[in-house]
C-alpha cells in the first residue's frame, strides 16, 4: 500500500495538548502525516491520547484543553485560525467519526433527514443529496429503507456506529478521522468496514484511523504510530510496527508496542502466565427470564419469546449480529426496558419490570454495564465518588469503606488513583468503560450484564479485564451475561452461549458448539 500524493492532506507538526490542572501534557510534541490515498493508524493503551490527537488533527479539543503546535489541513493552518473559523475551514475537507456515535446523532432527527442535510455540503441538488445519502449508508453497511425513518434511539449500538460513519462519509470529505470505527460491530461488519476504509483510501481519501483493533489496522493501514502517555514512542510502516502474524522479534519494537502485541495473543512480554482466578464463595439465588417479548412497534428488535436462566457463578455469552435484539434483552433484565410479555425473577420471586420501581436490594440483583459508558456518569463529579455510590447506596457500606472497595477494584483493572479524581470528560472511552465495570461490580450483583465492555479497550487493557473479571465475580458467585462481538473474549470468559438472530434465540448450548455458527465464513480468531 502506498500513497498517491506528493504532499499530505494532513500534516500534524509537534502537537501538544494541555489540560487545566493536569500534571503532564495529554499530548507531547506528536507529529504525523496523512497523505492522500493512505491510512495512518494510531494505536496505544486507553488514556494514551488517541482521541485527543484525533480532535487536535481537526484543530479541535475538549473543554479545558489547550493545543500548541501546527495542524496543516491542505493549505489551512487550523491552529492559526480563531476557533470559530475552524469548522468552516474543515467543511468539505475533513470529517470526523467520534468514539461515541451518540454525540453526533441528533436524537430528534430521523436518519434519512440527517444524512440528506449533511449531503448538502457537496450536493446542492435534492436528488443528488438523496443519492449521496444512500451511497454513504451502503458504504457503512446499512440499508436506506431500513433506517431512513428511524431515530437514533431506535437503532442498536452497532447501527448507531454505522449511521455516524455514514454521516462522516456523506460529506465527501477528502480526509476522514475515524475514532474506534469498529466499536460495537460484529466481526462480519468489522471486516466489511475494514474493506470500505481501504477502498476509500485506494480511491484517494486520506484516513487517520484511531483504533485498538490491531487486526483492522493490519488490514487497512499504510503506517502506524504507537502512543504512550501522550508521546509517539514507535512508528513506521504498519507491517513493520505491528507485524503480520504474531509479536515478531521484540528488540525491533518499543516496549509499549510489544505489550500491545503480547496482550493481543493473551500472553505477556515476560512470558508470565495469567493469574489464577479460582475462588470460592457462598452460592446465592439465580436470575431467570421467562417468555420475554418486547413489541413497541412492528419490527422491534426483540420479538421473542426469550427465556434464559443464570445460575450463580455461570458464564453466558449473548451473540448475534447488530440489531438482533441483544441490547434490548439486556435492558429488560436490568429494568431499563419494560417487556411487553414475560418477567424477570430472582430466587423465584418476580422483579418489578422497571428499575425505578425496584427497591435498593432489588436494584443490586442485576447490574448492567452500558455499551456507551460515558452516558452513565454525571459530568461534573469526580469519578471515584460515583464508583463508591453503588456500594454505599445499594449495600449500605460507610462512605470510606465503599470508596476503598471501589479504589481496589479499579486498581485491579489498571485504573490509577490519579485518574479516579478526574471528571468523566477527562477520561478516555476505555477508562470510562472500566470505571463503569467497577461501579457495577461493587454492588455484588447476582447477575452482571456486560454489553460490549471490551469494545473501547486496547489489547493490554482488554487482556487485564479478561484476566481480572472472573476473580472479581467470584466472591459473590455473580453470574455473567457477556454481550459481545469480541469472540476471543467470549471463548476466554464464558461457558454457555446463546445466539440471537432476527429478535429470536436461534441456538443455545456450549460456547464451543454455538460459536462456529455465529457469523460463519468470518475468521473467528484475530
Q: Residues 453-470: pLDDT tens digits?
A: 887 788 888 888 888 899
Same domain, residue pair 156 and 214: no
User: What is the grid cell recorded at 19?
Assistant: 489540560
User: What is the grid cell recorded at 259?
Assistant: 505489550
Closest CA to 403 of 439, 430, 449, 434: 439
pLDDT at 136: 86
Same domain, residue pair 180 and 297: no
H or E segment and range at residue 43: strand 39-43
Q: Which of these three, 246, 267, 298, is where a domain ends?
A: 246
pLDDT at 522: 42
Same domain, residue pair 212 and 321: no
Q: How far is CA 514 from CA 488, 509, 518, in A?
A: 14, 6, 7
Does residue 418 form part of some domain? yes
> Cα–Cα distance between 293 and 328 in angstroms, integer?
10
Q: Are 317 and 323 in contact, with CB atoms under 8 Å apart?
A: no
> Which of 37-41, 301-305, 443-447, 517-521 bottoms out in mean pLDDT, i.e. has the lowest?
517-521
Q: Which of these three, 172, 192, 216, is where a domain ends?
A: 172
Total count of domains within the chain: 3
Same domain, residue pair 112 and 2: no
- pLDDT tens digits, residue range 397-454? 889 999 999 999 999 998 988 889 999 888 888 888 899 999 999 999 999 999 988 8
Does residue 254 form part of some domain? no
pLDDT at 36: 92
The pTM of the full predicted model, rounded to 2 decimals, is 0.62
Does residue 99 form part of some domain? no
Does residue 255 form part of some domain? no
Q: Which of these three, 246, 274, 299, is where a domain ends?
A: 246
Same domain, residue pair 78 and 203: yes
Q: To 5 degrees, how large is the angle CA 56–CA 414–CA 486?
A: 80
Same domain, residue pair 338 and 454: yes
Same domain, residue pair 188 and 237: yes
User: Which residues of 280-383 form beta strands (DSSP E)?
Assistant: 287-293, 306-310, 315-319, 341-346, 349-350, 366-369
Strand partners, 27: 17
Same domain, residue pair 65 and 167: no
Closest CA to 465 of 448, 446, 477: 448
Same domain, residue pair 227 and 294: no
Same domain, residue pair 151 and 121: yes
Exposed/middle/buried for residue 402 (C-beta within 10 Å: 0-12, 13-18, 19+) = buried
Closest CA to 453 of 424, 484, 409: 484
Range of the domain at 369: 287-517
Same domain, residue pair 32 and 132: no
Does residue 442 form part of some domain? yes
Same domain, residue pair 306 and 166: no
Phi first, then psi, for residue 477 (nearest 5°) are: 50, 40
Amino acid at each position: 500500500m502506498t500513497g498517491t500524493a506528493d504532499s499530505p492532506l494532513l500534516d500534524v507538526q509537534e502537537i501538544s495538548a494541555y489540560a487545566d490542572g493536569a500534571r503532564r501534557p495529554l499530548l507531547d510534541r506528536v507529529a504525523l502525516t496523512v497523505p492522500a490515498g493512505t491510512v495512518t493508524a494510531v494505536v496505544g493503551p486507553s488514556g494514551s491520547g488517541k482521541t485527543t490527537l484525533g480532535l487536535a488533527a481537526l484543530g479541535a479539543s475538549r473543554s479545558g484543553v489547550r493545543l500548541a503546535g501546527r495542524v496543516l489541513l491542505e493549505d489551512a493552518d487550523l491552529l492559526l485560525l480563531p476557533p470559530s473559523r475552524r469548522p468552516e475551514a474543515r467543511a468539505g475537507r475533513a470529517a470526523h467519526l467520534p468514539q461515541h456515535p451518540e454525540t453526533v446523532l441528533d436524537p430528534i432527527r430521523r436518519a434519512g433527514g440527517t444524512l440528506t442535510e449533511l449531503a448538502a455540503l457537496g450536493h446542492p441538488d435534492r436528488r443528488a443529496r438523496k443519492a449521496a445519502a444512500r451511497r454513504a449508508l451502503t458504504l457503512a453497511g446499512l440499508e436506506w429503507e431500513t433506517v431512513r425513518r428511524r431515530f437514533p434511539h431506535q437503532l442498536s449500538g452497532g447501527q448507531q456506529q454505522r449511521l455516524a460513519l455514514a454521516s462522516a462519509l456523506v460529506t465527501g470529505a477528502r480526509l476522514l478521522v475515524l475514532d474506534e470505527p469498529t466499536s460495537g460491530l460484529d466481526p462480519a461488519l468489522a471486516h466489511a468496514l475494514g474493506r470500505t476504509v481501504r477502498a476509500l483510501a485506494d480511491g484517494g481519501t486520506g484516513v487517520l484511523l484511531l483504533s485498538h483493533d490491531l487486526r483492522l489496522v493490519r488490514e487497512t493501514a499504510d503506517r502506524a504510530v504507537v502512543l504512550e502517555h501522550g508521546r509517539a514512542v514507535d512508528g513506521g510502516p504498519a507491517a513493520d510496527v505491528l507485524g503480520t502474524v504474531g509479536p515478531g522479534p521484540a528488540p525491533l519494537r518499543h516496549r509499549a508496542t510489544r505489550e500491545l502485541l503480547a496482550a493481543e495473543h493473551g500472553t505477556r512480554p515476560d512470558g508470565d502466565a495469567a493469574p489464577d482466578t479460582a475462588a470460592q464463595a457462598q452460592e446465592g439465588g439465580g436470575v431467570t427470564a421467562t417468555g420475554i417479548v418486547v413489541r413497541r412497534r412492528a419490527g422491534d428488535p426483540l420479538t421473542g419469546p426469550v427465556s434464559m436462566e443464570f445460575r450463580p457463578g455461570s458464564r453466558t455469552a449473548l451473540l448475534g449480529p447488530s440489531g438482533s435484539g441483544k441490547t434490548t434483552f439486556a435492558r429488560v433484565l436490568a429494568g431499563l426496558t419494560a417487556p411487553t410479555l414475560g418477567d424477570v425473577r430472582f430466587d423465584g420471586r418476580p422483579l418489578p419490570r422497571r428499575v425505578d420501581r425496584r427497591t435498593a436490594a432489588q436494584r443490586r440483583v442485576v447490574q448492567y454495564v452500558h455499551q456507551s459508558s460515558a452516558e452513565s456518569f454525571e459530568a461534573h463529579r469526580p469519578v471515584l465518588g460515583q464508583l463508591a455510590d453503588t456500594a454505599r447506596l445499594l449495600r449500605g457500606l460507610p462512605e470510606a469503606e465503599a470508596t476503598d472497595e471501589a479504589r481496589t477494584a479499579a486498581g485491579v483493572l489498571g485504573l490509577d488513583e490519579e485518574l479516579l479524581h478526574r471528571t468523566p470528560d477527562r477520561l478516555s472511552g476505555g477508562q470510562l468503560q472500566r470505571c463503569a465495570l467497577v461501579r457495577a461490580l461493587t454492588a455484588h450483583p447476582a447477575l452482571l450484564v456486560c454489553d460490549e465492555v471490551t469494545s473501547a479497550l486496547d489489547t493490554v487493557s482488554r487482556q487485564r479485564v479478561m484476566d481480572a473479571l472472573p476473580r472479581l465475580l467470584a466472591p459473590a458467585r455473580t453470574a455473567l451475561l457477556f454481550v459481545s462481538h469480541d469472540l476471543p473474549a467470549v471463548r476466554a470468559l464464558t461457558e454457555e452461549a446463546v445466539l440471537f438472530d432476527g429478535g429470536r434465540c436461534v441456538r443455545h448450548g456450549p460456547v464451543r458448539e454455538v460459536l462456529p455458527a455465529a457469523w460463519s465464513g468470518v475468521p473467528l480468531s484475530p
